[in-house]
Amino acid sequence: MTVEKETFEFKAETKKLLDIVINSLYTERDVFIRELISNAADALEKFRHESVTATEIFDDHLPLEITIALDEKKNTLTITDTGIGMTRAELENNLGTIAHSGSNTYLAELVEAAKKDVSLIGQFGVGFYSAFMAGATVRVQSRSWNKSEGNEWVSDGTGSYTITEVPGLHRGTKIIIELKEDAKDYAQEWKIKSIVKQYSSFVAFPIKLGEETLNSVQALWTKNRSDIKDEEYVEFYKFVANAATDPMYKLHFSADAPLAINALLFVPAENFEGFGFGKMDPGVNLYCQRILIDQHSKTILPEWLRFLKGVVDSEDLPLNISRQALQDNALVAKIRKVITKRFLKYLDEQATKEPEKYLEFWSTFGIFLKEGATSDYEYQKEIGKLLRFESSKSEAGKPVSLADYVLRMNPDQEEIYFINGPNRASIEAGPYVEMFKQKDIEILYTLEPIDDFVLNHLGEFDGKKLKSADGADLSLAKDSDEENKEKNSDEEKQAGEDMETLTKWMQEVLADHVSEVSVSKRLVDSPAMIVNPDSYMTSSMERIMAASRKEQGFPGMEKSKKKLEINPKNNLIIKLAELHKTDADFAAQVAQQIHDNAMIQAGLVVDPLEMVERNYKILSRVVENDAL
């Protein structure tokens, strides 16, 4: 019997392609295993689809599976599937030319991308040719399911290939790779196991190496939620997140529009960034039809959701981009938007359903949502619903939502107020909340340095403007002007004139430190307080920016002059108005000390040496007067 053997020349563009694949794409050599397994899974899926309507099936006793065989002595790697197989014509058409390509523009793009050292496997439909990155010779034995005779395709990846008829083959395709000298490790079990675990753990068909099935974990995201037990979710999470503890939350959902998406996301129990381990890598992997295409994807979710673990699978990713590290792709942007909005909606639902559990999440991962609020305008509205802060009407350690605050607002209140401080006790002991307490107006306590950035970036919530209580343009007492108009007594007029004189004098004394001294409409007990002329730049934000510049080696920010408000009803201020007329030098020291005290209460820096020296002088004067 004569065996028919033919030799063919690769087309010119295919030669160029092979040269690029073999010589330019070594940075991610492992992915050729992924590509060949993916092709095998596609062949099995095609056979399964065809067999549904077929009246007669060739080799119907064969299990649908992928097998890998290694021979370290012969230095070979063999991948076999029992899928649909190929005819002689299909071998020539599929492996001898570049499908749906061949244009000069296509090759130009391929060459240009290769120069940038980008992994191109799959990006340009070159999955099979990746075998030549590790193979000196590649042999493809295939027999179609339609009973035609089997054939063997052989090439060394240079100028030509042969196709020879081979009788006795089973249905499917076997790829035998004779490995290059520098690729011998692909004939070792540990290497193949690690690659399959990384890229092909969720392929729908068994991948066997000897007697061992390498992909034993189910692709849960493809199953109906009602068919999955809680312990299966936990087992899956521990596998994909390499975790030892159960997840805090899980979100399993599918979407058909605008794209077909299956997603299974988990919130871990712990925030490792909070333990000082540095910035986490993204924890969500992107799949296309169960094949990993982007591990720890930096594009599938915003960076501020890097704490999430899990998988996202989309069948709508076209093959020309699906097996690469995706960058700035419009489809990926759509997927990112769908998943992000769905996860934020899920958190909002959980906050309503189990508020105590959500507060656990907030205390652990709230910092990431705050990061999102300051860096990602697109999702600010959704993030605003999820923010939590303590307030003057909440229990200590029990933060409330902005929605809760709005529900408790007075009918005529138009703004949501907040004030920053290192802790609740220091805020409540300070001057900024006095009028709020007196008028029973709720004020949010922002206890973290980033909080003021968050609320200023948010700007408003539910149509209510967010406003810092240390702003200069704040007035809670709408009736204060009317009350002032009623002060017609000579005594009150004189007191008003005395305060006007005092503010002008203090302005001169403190000219190097303040932009203005004015009579406060909101102080109740404290003698004075510092307020910010710039309604956006709160004191806490100024501290953060100064510290950040210092960390980065930049010179410190030029100190902006603040406004000083004084309390005309405070006994110290009343006495100071008298003292500056009789002892201007000593009164100046007292005025400077009042300013420094107000700065400290605002959390701002003062010169400690100068303040202490002045303080001792004032104390000495007081002691002397008492001794007389």
Query: 391 and 378, same structural domain?
Result: no
Q: Is 157 left (phi over 0), alpha (psi -120 to 50) or beta?
A: left
Q: How many domains does the chain have?
A: 4
- Say if 253 falls within a structural domain: yes
Query: 168 and 24, same structural domain?
Result: yes
d(CA 335, CA 95): 33
Kindly report the CATH number assigned to the domain that includes residue 227.
Answer: 3.30.230.80
Tokens 């021979």 correspond to 71
First to last CA, the chain: 132
Q: Which of 577, 620, 575, 572 is nearest to 597 (CA)?
A: 572
State the alpha helices, DSSP H only, in 53-140: 88-96, 104-115
Asked if 562 and 516 touch (Cβ cutoff 8 Å), the reply is no
- Say if 410 falls within a structural domain: yes
Q: Answer with the one of 148, 181, 213 that is the final residue of a domain.
A: 213
d(CA 539, CA 426): 15
Q: Give the other-Cβ count within 10 Å of 2's Cβ.
A: 5
63 token code pair: 């299990």
- Say if 195 falls within a structural domain: yes
Q: State the pLDDT at residue 507.
A: 94
Q: What is the DSSP letter of 445?
A: E
- Say if 15 falls within a structural domain: yes
Query: 406 and 371, same structural domain?
Result: no
Asked if 250 and 265 touch (Cβ cutoff 8 Å), the reply is yes
d(CA 74, CA 573): 95
Query: 354 and 311, same structural domain?
Result: yes
Q: Give the other-Cβ count within 10 Å of 584's Cβ.
A: 12
Helix (H) or strand (E) holding 228: none
Q: Answer with the one of 166, 186, 213 that is the final residue of a domain.
A: 213
Query: 454 and 434, same structural domain?
Result: yes
Query: 183 and 41, same structural domain?
Result: yes
Query: 294 and 259, same structural domain?
Result: yes
Asked if 280 and 306 touch (Cβ cutoff 8 Å), the reply is yes
5 token code pair: 């053997």
Range of the domain at 543: 487-547+558-628
Which amino acid type is present at position 377? Y
d(CA 178, CA 579): 99
State the alpha helices, DSSP H only, in 412-566: 424-429, 434-438, 451-458, 480-485, 490-509, 539-551
Q: What is the DSSP letter of 27?
A: G
Low-confidence spans in the chain with pLDDT less than 50:
1, 26, 99-103, 106, 114-125, 319-325, 327-328, 479-483, 628
Q: State the pLDDT at residue 318.
A: 59
**Chain segment 576-604, per-residue pLDDT in tens:** 999 999 999 999 999 999 999 999 988 88
Which amino acid type is present at position 331? L
- Say if 119 falls within a structural domain: yes
Tokens 């871990």 correspond to 268
Q: Is the dihedral of CA 49, 200, 81, 217 positive or negative?
A: negative
Q: State the pLDDT at residue 9.
A: 83
Cα 313 to Cα 277, 495, 540, distances in angstroms: 29, 74, 43
- Say if 158 falls within a structural domain: yes
Query: 491 and 627, same structural domain?
Result: yes
Query: 411 and 271, same structural domain?
Result: no
State the pairing for strand pair 66-71/207-209. parallel
- Say if 479 falls within a structural domain: no
Q: Answer with the one of 213, 233, 248 that is the final residue of a domain.
A: 213
Query: 464 and 494, same structural domain?
Result: no
Query: 358 and 417, same structural domain?
Result: no
Kindly report the CATH number assigned to the domain that includes residue 411.
Answer: 3.40.50.11260
Cα 538 to Cα 49, 115, 420, 472, 603, distances in angstroms: 64, 49, 9, 10, 11
- Say if 475 falls within a structural domain: no
d(CA 448, CA 453): 10
Query: 99 and 24, same structural domain?
Result: yes
